[in-house]
Structure 1
Amino acid sequence: MLFQKSAQSMIALLGFMVAVASVHAADPKLANVTILATGGTIAGTGATSTTTVGYTAATVGVQTLIQAVPEMTKVANVSGEQVFQIASENMSNEHWLTLAKRVNTLLAQKDVHGIVITHGTDTLEETAYFLNLVVKSKKPVVLVGSMRPSTAISADGPVNLYNAVVLAASPDAVGRGVLVSMNDQIHAGRDVSKSNTTMVDTFRTPEMGMLGYFQGGKPLFYRQVVRKHTTETEFDVSSLTALPQVDVAYSYANVGPTAIDALVGAGAKGLIHAGVGNGSLPAKVRPALSAARAKGVLVVRSSRVGQGILARNGEANDDELDFVVADTLNPQKARILLMLALTKTNNTKEIQRMFYTY
């Protein structure tokens, strides 16, 4: 009896192995998509099926994610790599450089047609914009996450991942820059932001609008990306081992110079001032920012509002102060562009050109 059960178990295991092998057998008619896993909620687990907050992120490996969505193998030849296994609030400059170099290496291979990056949602928009500036290929790069862990009832990760693979395999996604695929929507990495703490429709592009939808298992595009990206940028991270220190100073009623002085004292090479309204400079803050600029720190005026164009020489005389304005970039994305800009130049006119270009 014991032998019979053992034999049955072995047959079942062999059957499973054959099934897995057949799922991953390459189909020459399909695009080859590599999934780079970095952790996040999409790879998270909760104590129960109703746990949607207080779960543990980054516990499920990439192969488990792939095996959970076998439907992906009908639209692409899928392979996976575990690049990191972290919650995205821990994403660092070093992580970004490692990820960007790996993406560029893979996309340089003729047999790789697209990349999907699984990512925690907290900093997904930042990683998307960083890659949008440094990826050197027109092939699709798609970031995807989820708002519910993999163990939750109606977890959104599987369908998000499936859509992301469909998008990365689609010829229609070529040349559109780095994309974000969430909640049956397609967004541009430059413009999208997380807008809600917990809802599955948190990723929005409120002013510019999303690029398209998924319907019937197909990506449908309705808008073009017009700002330069990927192969059209001047940024190259291939030889970089670190990025310049750029920090964000947040403004609010009764704000003083304490944060700015501390950041400059800690070695910041650039500062993003997340001002109120149209990037206004409070009376107690302006002298500290001017002093920082006099020490060689690059200052970019942005806004905590989250939407709108930051007007140059509007709420401050930027020409006189030798400041840069962030255009439509929110503070966290302005920080990314300034870091990369500082790898090329310290000239404020050149950096302002970059903010109007990318």
Structure 2
Amino acid sequence: MLYQKSVRSLWALFACLFLITLSAQAQDAKLPHVVILATGGTIAGTGATSTTTVGYTAAKVGVESLIKAVPELSNVANVTGEQVFQIASESMTNEHWLALAKRVNTLLAQADVDGIVITHGTDTLEETAYFLDLVVKSNKPVVLVGSMRPSTAISADGPINLYNAVALAGSKEAVGKGVLVALNDQINAAREVTKTNTVSTDTFKTTELGFLGYMLDGKPRFYRASLRKHTAETEFDVSGLNALPAVDVAYSYANVGTAAVDAFVAQGDVGIVHAGTGDGSLPARTKPALVAARKKGVIIVRSSRVGQGIVARNGEANDDELDFVVSDTLSPQKARILLMLALTRTHDTKEIQRMFYTY
């Protein structure tokens, strides 16, 4: 009799464990699958002490350690990770971008992947985000995230930023919103966001148009959307590309000459973005070099170093006569990205201008 009771108790225990396992599996099945692609940066950095917030070493912590440091991720998604690069983001190259874009597109084409988070250094985060915004071929969420303080700092912002990014990438609300940037509890659009402060955690802003929304208690609250075409709507395809056209930025300032423009032409650039003063003004000493470059076939885009506002076509220069392109509201660094991709499609300045007004 005692034996029979013991057997029944064991079967009851096994049944309970089985039901618990099934329940856990069912819960896991309901959670989105988010892949974290790690590229390095401050979020993976370490400092000499817990109070070191400058002078630290970026790109030291691997993706698995980043995930383990935030066990709460398991509450919002089934998370897997890949270490695609381990670099400080000031060292990001066109080749890195192409490799990253191809991996993102491969993963998003899989039915069991619901979203992507990319951990990234903040220095060029906005550029990588905009590049992906133009070449990702999916409406599934792609979220870039970083931190301003290394992982070893007392008040490191990386863990909460990563948690919010994963929650955002796994959310239905983020579908079709384009590539997003999530730091400091704020959601920004890749096209419009920029880094505005060297050390503050509140550094990423969309100064004129405003951010898209907030992350609150692990959930996105959207209040607006970016209306420019992006991701699955774009005409750009990098699947067969191993390199991007050579494009550089010539920065303008008082007493500027022609050295930068001349050097870029000499090294074979097919496009130059001129980061002019004000409304993309052309200095008297620099303009002849830009005109000469255009006559040699180099595409010239007038942009502005100001950081806000529209560069007006035929405003500070007769763009129609010069056969120049204007950057609209894109910063010089983002204008460079769009020009590179545009040049994979055409060298027609009218078509390229259309692209600047479309994306």
Distance across 1 between alignment mates of 2:281 and 2:348: 23
Equivalent position of 1:63 in the other structure: 64
1:331 aligns with 2:335: no
Equivalent position of 1:7 in the other structure: none
2:29 is paired with a residue of what secondary structure? coil
Equivalent position of 1:184 in the other structure: 185
2:150 is paired with a residue of what secondary structure? coil
Post-superposition CA distance 1:227-286 (Å, at most 9, x none) = 000010000000000000000000000111111001110111100000000000010011
2:328 is paired with a residue of what secondary structure? coil
Q: Which amino acid aligns with 2:164?
A: N
Residue 25 of structure 1, CA deviation: 11
Distance across 2 between alignment mates of 1:24 and 1:84: 32
Q: Which amino acid aligns with 1:201?
A: D
Q: Is the 8 A contact 1:26 1:77 kept in 2?
A: no
Distance across 1 between alignment mates of 2:284 and 2:144: 41
TM-score by length of 1: 0.93
Q: Cα 1:298–1:74, aligned 2, differ >3 Å: closer, same or farther?
A: same
Q: Which amino acid aligns with 1:302?
A: S
1:172 is paired with a residue of what secondary structure? coil
| Range with bigger deviation, 210-219 or 309-318 | 210-219
Q: Cα 1:178–1:219, aligned 2, differ >3 Å: closer, same or farther?
A: same
Q: Which amino acid aligns with 1:205?
A: T
Quote the sequence identity (%). 77
Equivalent position of 1:91 in the other structure: 92
Distance across 1 between alignment mates of 2:30 and 2:342: 41
1:227 aligns with 2:228: yes
Residue 24 of structure 1, CA deviation: 11
Residue 216 of structure 1, CA deviation: 2.1
Matches within 5 A, 1:265-280: 265-280=266-281
Equivalent position of 2:21 in the other structure: none
Residue 120 of structure 1, CA deviation: 0.1
Distance across 1 between alignment mates of 2:269 and 2:26: 50
Matches within 5 A, 1:156-305: 156-305=157-306
Q: Cα 1:291–1:63, aligned 2, differ >3 Å: closer, same or farther?
A: same
Post-superposition CA distance 1:26-63 (Å, at most 9, x none) = 81010000000000000000000000010000000000
Matches within 5 A, 1:2-13: none
Q: Cα 1:26–1:289, aligned 2, differ >3 Å: closer, same or farther?
A: farther
1:349 is paired with a residue of what secondary structure? helix
Distance across 1 between alignment mates of 2:81 and 2:115: 12
Distance across 2 between alignment mates of 1:263 and 1:217: 46
Post-superposition CA distance 1:101-142 (Å, at most 9, x none) = 000000000000000000000000000000000000000000
Q: Is the 8 A contact 1:279 1:301 kept in 2?
A: yes
Distance across 2 between alignment mates of 1:175 and 1:235: 17
Residue 288 of structure 1, CA deviation: 0.3
Equivalent position of 2:74 in the other structure: 73
Query: Computing the radius of gyration over CA atoms, which structure comes out larger, 1 or 2?
Result: 2
Residue 214 of structure 1, CA deviation: 1.1
Distance across 2 between alignment mates of 1:241 and 1:24: 41
Q: Which amino acid aligns with 2:28?
A: D
Distance across 1 between alignment mates of 2:244 and 2:83: 23
| C-alpha RMSD of matched pairs (Å) | 1.2
Q: Is the 8 A contact 1:24 1:73 kept in 2?
A: no
Distance across 2 between alignment mates of 1:318 and 1:331: 17
1:121 is paired with a residue of what secondary structure? coil
Q: Is the 8 A contact 1:24 1:78 kept in 2?
A: no
Matches within 5 A, 1:37-52: 37-52=38-53
Can you give the 5+ residue segments of structure 1 that lack an aligned partner in the other structure?
A: 1-22
Equivalent position of 2:55 in the other structure: 54
1:143 aligns with 2:144: yes
Post-superposition CA distance 1:136-174 (Å, at most 9, x none) = 000000000000000001000000000000000000000
Q: Which amino acid aligns with 1:332?
A: Q
Matches within 5 A, 1:332-351: 332-351=333-352
Find runs of 4+ consecutive structure 1 residues off by over 6 angstroms.
23-26
Q: Which amino acid aligns with 1:126?
A: E
Distance across 1 between alignment mates of 2:217 and 2:323: 52
Q: Which amino acid aligns with 2:260?
A: A
1:173 is paired with a residue of what secondary structure? coil
